[in-house]
Amino acid sequence: MTDPMTAYMHRSVPRYTSYPTAPHFSQSVGTETYAGWLAGLPATRPVSLYLHVPFCRELCWYCGCNMKLAKRDEPVADYAKALNQEIALVARALPARMDISHLHWGGGTPTALVPDDLARAMDQVRAHFNVSEGAELAIESDPRTLTDEMTQRIGALGFTRASFGVQEFDPKVQAAINRIQPPKMVQHSVDGLRAAGVAGINFDLIYGLPFQTVETLLETIRLCVAMRPDRVALFGYAHVPWMVKKQRLIDEASLPGPAERLAQSTAAAKALVAAGYIAIGLDHFALPGDSMAIAARAGTLRRNFQGYTTDQAETMLGVGSTSIGRTPSGYVQNLPETGAWARAVNAGQLPIGKGLAFTAEDILRGDVIERLMCNGTVDLEDATQRHAAAPDWYLGQMPALNQLEADGLIARQGGRITVTDRGAPVVRVIASVFDAYLPATTARHAVAV
């Protein structure tokens, strides 16, 4: 008899870094709507800021991010100037000078900027916002192109956390994904950042890559653990060549199958826990004293477009092409094409391409999905009361919940649903039960494991 777990592993479901998910954004939400949402924000509550740089100095074939290969400095410098203008535009739309509790530079590769342009952007942030004492200032980087000068500048600018995409150290796997970075290269970047005063170091690892095996991944983890990053994210490679053209350069015959992917994920998680890391949510691990581990223990872990986060702000302001923001009223996404985005900014317009206004049901279901993804448990009766929802709002999900319970993926006690150890690898499938949009969507997603 076929294990029902196999079917769950094959299921195509969102990653739930938002709800509703990005495929449901539309042009019905634009610049005027967003301006109204910003003007209506509570002036005394802190916000978080996400800054997107869509440029990379090297091309990685596995990457699904919206990025451009930067062969010349001029387009990157022009982008940085427009980014500074957008920071000012957003600040002027707010009801007051706001406090920032969390700042994150993502991409692409933010350190594709030259150090002076990064510094000018941070000066612009501080000119228009109050960066709260103790705020986390995070930046993503690429060890292959991170210079010593940029490392020193990152420290001088007060960044508290840096993230690296390690992915896999095996040379054959690296060649197959076009990301050559020996362990010594990563070690040099880590040592430099720590010496510059950046206390928090994050590594991203990927399983399910071409030619990857349990053995190669465990060796990568051994090398990573020796560098003692504070957090490790362990993602499953999402092979979506119909969406990401550069992934067509990867030989599909070299990719591990679902059973191999599960074995890699399971073995890697066990190795990280054995090395002293705390398992958090679907795919994160942190040292016990790290703020993410503390948030997980306290039940305050959140999930947004950066994945798992300690960020508690209700509003995330996104700047830069294709960046996504969230307010209590809904989501917005900037124009994805850098030229169109820059033209809107230069014309003094908030460069919104699309978005989504929340309904009360969206907020309720998003809360339930986030609790499952972050805590592995949710009390439906408590959620019903907190959101003043109709008591029978989730009756339509009961057949699916009954099946998940029968297959040993969840346990139920009254209105409380808890993801079991067996169900943890497919928590996205469990969360998808509460996704009211998914049954009718035509969007294609990555498999659950």
Domain contains 334: no
For residues 312 and 373, membership in a common domain is answered with no
What average pLDDT does this structure show over 431-448? 84
Number of domains present in the structure of the chain: 2
Closest-CA residue to 198 (of 158, 143, 231, 144): 158
Measured distance CA(102)–CA(220) in Å, rounded: 30
Q: What is the pTM of this model?
A: 0.94
Reply yes or no on whether the pLDDT at 313 is more than 90. yes
Measured distance CA(37)–CA(249) in Å, rounded: 42
For residues 379 and 314, membership in a common domain is answered with no
User: Of 64-68, 362-366, 423-427, which gets the smallest average pLDDT?
Assistant: 64-68
Strand 324-327 and strand 330-334: pairing?
antiparallel
Q: How confident is the model at residue 240 (pLDDT cuts 50, 70, 90)?
A: confident
What average pLDDT does this structure show over 116-135? 97
Domain contains 4: no
For residues 257 and 365, membership in a common domain is answered with no
For residues 207 and 60, membership in a common domain is answered with yes
Reply yes or no on whether the pLDDT at 50 is more than 80. yes
Q: Which tokens sit at 437?
A: 């949009």
Tell me what the pLDDT averaged over the chain comes to: 94
pLDDT of residue 231: 98
Helix, strand, or coil here: 399? helix
DSSP state of 447: B
| Structural contact between residues 223 and 183, judged by C-beta atoms closer than 8 angstroms | yes
Reply yes or no on whether the pLDDT at 2 is more than 70. no
For residues 385 and 250, membership in a common domain is answered with no
pLDDT of residue 7: 85
Residue range 94-105, pLDDT digits in tens: 999 999 999 999
Strand 377-379 and strand 330-334: pairing?
unpaired
For residues 285 and 385, membership in a common domain is answered with no
Domain contains 443: no
Domain contains 328: no
For residues 269 and 136, membership in a common domain is answered with yes
For residues 311 and 173, membership in a common domain is answered with yes
For residues 411 and 294, membership in a common domain is answered with no
For residues 274 and 366, membership in a common domain is answered with no
What's the longest Cα–Cα distance across the chain? 64
By residue count, the chain amounts to: 449
Reply yes or no on whether the pLDDT at 3 is more than 80. no
For residues 80 and 150, membership in a common domain is answered with yes
Domain contains 90: yes
- Residue 328, φ and ψ in degrees, nearest 5: -60, -15
Residue range 110-121, pLDDT digits in tens: 999 999 999 999
CATH number of the domain that 417 lies in? 1.10.10.920
Strand ordering across the sheet containing 278-280: 278-280, 284-286, 231-236, 200-207, 161-167, 130-141, 99-107, 47-53, 316-319, 324-327, 330-334, 352-357
Helix, strand, or coil here: 266? helix
Domain that holds residue 218: 15-319
Domain contains 425: yes
Domain contains 426: yes
pLDDT of residue 70: 85
In the chain, % of residues over pLDDT 70: 99
For residues 305 and 388, membership in a common domain is answered with no
CATH number of the domain that 257 lies in? 3.80.30.20
More confident: 299 or 242: 299
Q: How confident is the model at residue 226 (pLDDT cuts 50, 70, 90)?
A: very high
pLDDT of residue 1: 52
| Structural contact between residues 213 and 264, judged by C-beta atoms closer than 8 angstroms | yes
- Residue 425, φ and ψ in degrees, nearest 5: -65, -20
Reply yes or no on whether the pLDDT at 270 is more than 60. yes
pLDDT of residue 409: 96
What average pLDDT does this structure show over 167-186? 96
Q: Which residues contact 309 (CB under 8 A, 6 or more apart)?
A: 102, 292, 301, 302, 303
In the chain, % of residues over pLDDT 90: 86
pLDDT of residue 317: 98
Domain contains 149: yes
| Structural contact between residues 428 and 438, judged by C-beta atoms closer than 8 angstroms | no
What are the strands, taking DSSP E only, across 91-199? 99-107, 130-141, 161-167
**Domain termination site, one of 271, 287, 319:** 319
| Structural contact between residues 385 and 364, judged by C-beta atoms closer than 8 angstroms | no
